[in-house]
Structure 1
C-alpha cells in the first residue's frame, strides 16, 4: 500500500476578527453609576413606592434590552467559528475512524502472532517436561509469562529460561522430598513455587497445632485437692455437704 499523507495547510484558514463598536459606552456607564448611587440613597415609603417600582421596572427593561443585544451579537460572532469547528470535527472523525480500523487489524495480527508463539513455546514445554519425574506436577501456565510472548523475546531465550526453570524445580522438589511432612510442603510449593515460603508455612502450621494441642492437654488434666480436718465434727459436716452435691471424694483417716 502506497503511503498516503493528509495535506493540512493551516495557513489556508483565514480569520477575520469580529469588531463591535459601542460608541455610547462611556456615557451610558456614567449614567448607570449615577443612577445606582441615586437608587442606593432612595428611601421608599408609602407615598413613592409606586413611583419607585415604575422607575426600577423602566431601568431593568432598558438593561434587558442591552443584555439581549449582547447575546444577539455574541451569537452572530460565534456563527463562523461554530461552522469552522463543525468542519474540523468532521475531518477528525473521518481520520479517527480510519485509525481505529487499522489499529484493530494491528491488534488482531499481534494477537495471532502471540498465539502462534505460545503454541511454539508449549511444544518446547511438552518436549522438556517429559524428562522430569514431576511432569504431571506443574502445568504449562505455571511457567509461561507475558514477556515470553513479546516479539523482543526470542524462542531461544524462552527455551533457556524454561530449562533453568525446570532444573530449579527439579532440585527443589528433590530437597523437599527429604523433609518431614513432605506431602504437605509439596502441596504448598505447587501453589507458591517458593521453597523457603513453603517450608516455613508448613512448619509454622505444625507449631501452631502443637501449641494448641499442649494447651488442650493442660486444660483437660484433672486436679485433686486435699482438705485436712482437725476434728471429727468438721469432717462429718463436710462429708455431708459433699454427698448432697454428689461430688466424688475420698477419705483417709490417720490413726
Structure 2
C-alpha cells in the first residue's frame, strides 16, 4: 500500500507563471514619475480625485487577476488535499480502536501493579501514622519501574521517617504539636517550624503576663502606700494625754489590705501617733 502521484509527475508542476511583468513594471514606473512632486491645489482637487480613482482601479485589476490565477493554481491541490483527508479519516478509525484496547490493557496492568504496591507497603512495617497515600509516587506505576526498586525506596523512606521522629522528640518544647504536624505532612521542616512558632508565641505570652504582674504589683504598692502609710494628724488634746515618756519605734508591716486598714484604725482608736518612715 503506497501513495503514487500519477499526474503531475516530478517537475510537472507549474514552475513559473509567465506574464508581461517587466513590460508593465516599466510602463507603470514611467507613469508614476508623473506624480512625483505633483502638488494639487483647490482648483485641481477634482483632478486629484480622478487620478486617485484611476490608480485604485488599476491596482484592483491587478489584485483580481492575482486572485484568479491563485485559484487556478490551487484548484488541483485543494482537490488533492480533500482526497487525502478522506483517506486519513478511514485510517483514523482503526487507530482509535487500537488505542482504546492498548489503553485498557495498560490500565489493567497499572491496576494490578497498584495492588502489588499496596501489598508491599503492608509488609514493610511503616510507622502506624504513615499511610500509602502519604508516600505515594505516581512514577511507581510506570512499566519501567520494577517492584524491587519500589521496595528499596519504601524502606529508605521508612528509615528517614524514623530519623525525623527522633529529631522531633528532642525538641525542648512543643514536641507534641510538632509531631502532630509531622504525622499529617511527613515534612520535618514544617513540623520544626510549627514548634518554633508555638515557642515564640509562648515566650511573648510569658513576657506579657510578667509585665502585667509587674504593673499590678507596682499599682498595689502605690495604693497601699497611699492608703496605709499616710501620716494621720493627732489632735492637741490627744497628744497632751499621751504618756510623757513617749517612745518611737520604726517597723514595717506586711498583711492584706483589710489587715492593714484594721491596724491603722487600731492605732487611731488608741491615739497612737504614726507616720511615714523616710
TM-score band, normalised by shorter chain: 0.5 to 0.7
Q: Deviations over 1:120-146 (max 9, x none)?
A: 2212333444xx7x43x2222223322
Identify if the C-alpha distance between structure 1 residues 181 and 76 changes in structure 2 by more than 3 Å, giving closer, same or farther.
same
The unaligned stretches of length 5 or more in structure 1 are: 1-5, 227-251
Q: State the partner residue of 1:7.
A: 2
Closer/same/farther in 2, CA of residues 9 and 217 from structure 1, 3 Å limit: same
- TM-score when normalising by structure 1: 0.66
Q: Distance in 1 between matches of 2:140 and 2:91?
A: 34
Instruction: Please tell me whether the aligned partners of residues 177 and 195 of structure 2 are also in contact (alpha carbons under 8 angstroms).
Output: no
| Alignment RMSD | 3.7
Distance apart, 1:57 and its partner CA: 3.4
Corresponding residue number in structure 1 for 2:32: 36
TM-score by length of 2: 0.61
Matched, 1:219 2:200: no
C-alpha distance in structure 1 between counterparts of 2:163 and 2:134, whole Å: 17
Indicate the residue corresponding to 1:79 in structure 2: 75
Q: Name the count of aligned residue pairs.
A: 220
Note closer, same or farther for the CA distance 1:167–1:10 as it changes in structure 2 (3 Å cut). Answer: farther
The 3 A distance-change label for structure 1 pair 20 and 151 is: closer
- 3-state SS, counterpart of residue 77 of structure 1: helix
Tell me if structure 2 keeps the 8 A contact 1:18–1:77: no
Tell me the equivalent position of 1:189: 182
> 1:1-255 residue pairs with structure 2 within 5 A?
7-9=2-4, 14=9, 15-17=12-14, 19-23=16-20, 25-45=21-41, 48-129=44-125, 134-135=127-128, 137-166=129-158, 168-169=160-161, 173=165, 181-195=174-188, 197=189, 200-220=192-212, 221-222=214-215, 223=218, 253=276
Structure label with greater radius of gyration: 2
Tell me what 1:241 maps to.
none
Query: Deviations 1:72-119 (Å, cap 9, x if unpaired)?
Result: 112111112222222333334444454344333322321221111111
